[in-house]
Amino acid sequence: MYKIISNKKLAENIHEMIIEAPRVAHSAKPGQFIILIIDKKGERIPLTIADYDKEKGTVNIVVQAIGYSTKKLVSLKENEYIKDFAGPLGNESEFVHEDIEILKNKRIVFVGGGVGSAPIYPQVKWFSERNIKTDVILGFKNKDFIILKEEFEKLNCNLHICTDDGSYGFKGLVTNKLQDMLDNEEIDEVITIGPMIMMKFVSKLTKKYNIKTIASLNTIMLDGTGMCGGCRVSIGGKVKFTCVDGPEFDAHLINFDEAMNRQTTFSDIEKKHSCRLDGAING
């Protein structure tokens, strides 16, 4: 059993939870994910690691409550327990293995959207801890949905926040802000995590500038072992499984249209089940 140290609401239906999981925290690296099961009847929930503290033995996850299991997860309180918390799973980010001196001479821009901002945090933190400054573009619907702003501001990064309606920061999409930077500054690499459609257009944009781009397909993972086949994607025309081969891939090789079709395959069925199961949580 894994103890919930805290459960903090960041925005509507978005919670940050800190879980006591010393072994996972000890081995965790940026880019990796965990799978948790709430109780003996629970389904597997894959979530990218949003932060970890090796000394305290804790792992942070950010959860968007959109289905039965995630709604039940965020309803749990501090000092309650979840049944299983397995990880770290998946491959760590590629930059972890790069030469630090080479990285110091690179201009790397992170582009995140919505809840995708959370898995970007440990990556930017990794650079910050090595005194490497990065640029971070985060996009949200409006100011009420901004998450982890204060946490990013404490890191060694240039933070650019975009909102669709202009209620905070840059008015427009992350691709609009990225376009500005690409037109006026030297950029070596882009790393993007967020909605599939956002990553698709980030990839299309950077391809025009021939800039290396990495995207995380964390949102299509299911069982975390590659056995279910639910996270199958086409990368450069080859079949890959996101949970064991990724979750990060060369964005210019990803067939985003195919991946988005897979994401919506069961959306109608999920909506019907969500309505029926809401009552199980609420009472």
So what's the pLDDT on residue 273? 53
Nearest in space to 220 (alpha carbons), one of 196, 198, 202, 197: 196
Report residue 28 as tokens. 């965790």
Residues of the chain with CATH 2.40.30.10: 2-89
- Across residues 51-65, what is the average pLDDT? 95
Q: What does the alpha-carbon distance between residue 257 and residue 238 come to, in Å, rounded to a whole number?
A: 15
pTM: 0.88
pLDDT at residue number 281? 46
> Is the CATH number 3.30.70.890 carried by domain 94-216?
no
Asked if residue 238 has pLDDT above 80, the reply is yes
Residues of the chain with CATH 3.40.50.80: 94-216
DSSP code of residue 106 = -
Q: In 3-state terms, what secondary structure has residue 125? A: helix
Q: Annotation-wise, does 275 bind a ligand?
A: no
Q: Is 123 annotated among the ligand-binding residues?
A: no
Is 177 or 245 the better-scoring residue by pLDDT?
A: 177
Confidence band, pLDDT 50/70/90 cuts, at residue 224: low
- Burial of 226-251, coded b for 16+ CB within 10 Å and e otherwise, reads beeebbbbebeeeebbbbbbbbbbeb
32 is in an annotated binding site: no
Question: Does 233 carry a binding-site annotation?
Answer: no
**The domain made up of 2-89 is a member of CATH 2.40.30.10:** yes
Q: What percent of the chain has pLDDT over 70?
A: 89
Mean pLDDT, the chain, rounded, equals 89
Q: Is 228 annotated as a binding residue?
A: yes
Query: According to the annotation, is 243 in a ligand binding site?
Result: yes
What are 65-119's pLDDT values in tens digits?
A: 988 889 999 999 999 999 999 989 989 999 999 999 999 999 999 999 999 999 9
The 10 Å CB-count burial string (b at 16+, else e) for 180-195 is ebbeeeebebbbbbbb
Report the alpha-carbon distance of residue 134 to residue 2 in Å, rounded: 34
